[in-house]
């Protein structure tokens, strides 16, 4: 519970810092890409803190993945990481045999994919707030 609370407070702090840095530079309206990243960060934190109850879990990760793609696809490191996450997340249903699929489920592939997306969203959010 303490780790979940710290993760949630850290995410809110990162959103607050990114919102302040974008508003302080100009009085222009907030960029839609920044807001999409902030919502994506909250979705990732919610999924990381909550229990994995079904495979619909991956549908919720579409929002953060699209937000990362829109905000930072031109950065080579982000593009390579997103391609790697897509390959890993699509490998589980494509592997032959029930035993291999269960082995990957036991190894926690779902957790590592969602953690990678969470890290990418936070990295992109920090980078976008620094560039503004």
Position 84 scores a pLDDT of 85
pLDDT digits (tens, 9 = 90+) for 102-131: 887 787 777 888 888 888 888 888 887 766
Contacts of 10 by beta carbon, 8 Å cutoff, 6+ apart: none
The whole-number average pLDDT for the span 55-62 is 75
The torsion angle over the Cα atoms of residues 128, 36, 87 and 81, rounded to 10 degrees, is: 10
The torsion angle over the Cα atoms of residues 50, 80, 127 and 125, rounded to 10 degrees, is: -20
Q: Above 60 in pLDDT, residue 79?
A: yes
Q: Above 80 in pLDDT, residue 56?
A: no
Would you place residue 59 in the very low, low, confident or very high pLDDT band (cuts 50, 70, 90)?
confident
Position 9 scores a pLDDT of 92
Would you place residue 19 in the very low, low, confident or very high pLDDT band (cuts 50, 70, 90)?
confident
Backbone φ and ψ for 95, nearest 5 degrees, come out as: -70, 135
Contacts 24+ apart (CB under 8 A), 79-85: 81/116, 81/120, 82/120, 84/116, 85/113, 85/116, 85/117, 85/120
Q: Above 80 in pLDDT, residue 52?
A: no
Token reading at 79 = 């593009």
Mean pLDDT estimate for the chain? 80
Q: What is the pTM of this model?
A: 0.75
């Amino acid at each position: 519970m303490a780790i979940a609370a710290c993760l949630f407070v850290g995410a809110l702090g990162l959103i607050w810092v990114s919102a302040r840095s974008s508003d302080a530079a100009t009085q222009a309206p907030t960029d839609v890409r920044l807001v999409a990243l902030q919502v994506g960060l909250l979705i990732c934190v919610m999924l990381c803190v909550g229990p994995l109850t079904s495979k619909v879990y991956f549908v919720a990760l579409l929002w953060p993945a699209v937000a990362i793609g829109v905000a930072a696809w031109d950065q080579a490191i982000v593009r390579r990481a997103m391609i790697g996450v897509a390959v890993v997340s699509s490998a589980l249903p494509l592997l032959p045999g029930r035993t291999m699929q269960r082995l990957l489920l036991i190894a926690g592939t779902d957790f590592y994919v969602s953690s990678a997306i969470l890290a990418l969203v936070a990295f992109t959010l920090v980078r976008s707030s620094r560039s503004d």
